[in-house]
Amino acid sequence: MDDIRPATPQRSQRFVHQIQQDLRDKGYAFQTEKTYLHWIKRYIIFHNKRHPAQMGADDINVFLSHLGSQRNCSPATQRIALNALIYLYRKFLKVDLEPLAFEKARQRRRLPVVLSHGEVNGILTCLDGKYHLMVSLLYGAGLRQSELLNLRIKDIDFELNTLTVRSGKGDKDRTTLLPTTLLVPLQRQIAEVQKLHTRDIEDGFGEVYLPNALAQKNPRAAFELGWQFLFPSTRIGACPRTGVMRRHHLHHTALRKHVMKARLKAGITKPVKCHTFRHSFATRLLQKVYDLRTMQKLLGHNDVKTTEIYTHVLGQRANSSEQ
């Protein structure tokens, strides 16, 4: 259950715990919390464990320049580290920083790996059961791995053929396509989850993790079928926040292992990750002449420039086929 926030020690004097609690009080997403803490720790270790209050803009410049020139990190990674340190000083320590002047990481345009429709089908033929359905959703609905794993039964609308992504990247909800070919497999999967949930209740369990606000307003919702994860874990474990024994969603490593095995079995030499199917979904939309704004909405991109990269991918593939 590594996507559930663990409890923090009350009134802890440790610097890290105080930052962690402040991030939660300000409503930052758990992934942002983990990312910011990671970069703040790296910053402190880089400067021989000096306290951030004893450092300032010059020390930030040295650290960020090191990331860009010595560690060869991408501009996006350097920007994330910068955001973490800006939060640390301006929002947590309440320190006004001098203008920063660090060496920017060099921009390198990397086009995403994309699979053809035939290559995706080749991988799917090497999968069965729930893993076949999971990869079909990654490709057919353009989901991120975390979005897929966090799907609840209530998020599927069989009448409208839509799928609702809750608290996706940027903590935003969105609606995306649900291929009609997946309706029957989804109904079978829900029936399996219902059997498992009934058995859990009989065994004295059956409570699923809920977002904090809902858990306080309607705790009984945790036992409802609609709130159960579409792809539940095979085991029941203790919640890191409360200690309650629950069945969480399937762990991402299980899906990754099956995708890797299927790729090798299908004889595909391209490096394939779960996110590759999302890239392939976007390229498929372009081939079907979807406009960029519609694609941006379906993919949940904040900036249409992120969506535009797939036009370069399609152009590259067209050029290679001509040669």
Tell me the per-residue pLDDT of 255-300, one tens digit each, with 9 for 90 and over.
999 999 999 999 999 999 999 999 999 898 888 877 888 888 888 8
Tell me the per-residue pLDDT of 191-228, one tens digit each, with 9 for 90 and over.
999 999 999 999 999 999 887 678 778 888 999 999 99
Which residue has better confidence, 76 or 50? 50
Amino acid at 24: R
> 269 to each of 22, 266, 277, how far by Cα in Å?
46, 9, 15
User: Dmax over Cα atoms in the chain, in whole Å?
Assistant: 66
Distance in angstroms (rounded) separating the CA atoms of residues 78 and 70: 12
Distance in angstroms (rounded) separating the CA atoms of residues 285 and 295: 7
Burial 257-280 (b: 16+ CB within 10 A, else e): ebbeebbeebebeeebebebbbbb
pLDDT above 70: percentage of residues in the chain: 95
Tell me the per-residue pLDDT of 55-89, one tens digit each, with 9 for 90 and over.
999 999 999 999 988 887 888 899 999 999 999 99
Number of other residues whose CB lies within 10 A of the CB of residue 238: 11
The β-bridge partners of 232 are 249
* Residues recognised as catalytic: 144, 169, 275, 278, 301, 310
How high is the pLDDT of residue 91? 95
Does the pTM surpass 0.85? The reply is no
**Residue 16, pLDDT above cutoff 50:** yes
Query: Going from the N-terminus, what domains does the chain have, and what CATH number goes with each?
Result: 15-92 (1.10.150.130), 117-316 (1.10.443.10)
pLDDT above 90: percentage of residues in the chain: 62
How high is the pLDDT of residue 275? 94
How high is the pLDDT of residue 236? 93
Distance in angstroms (rounded) separating the CA atoms of residues 229 and 193: 8
Q: Which two tokens stand for residue 1?
A: 């259950």
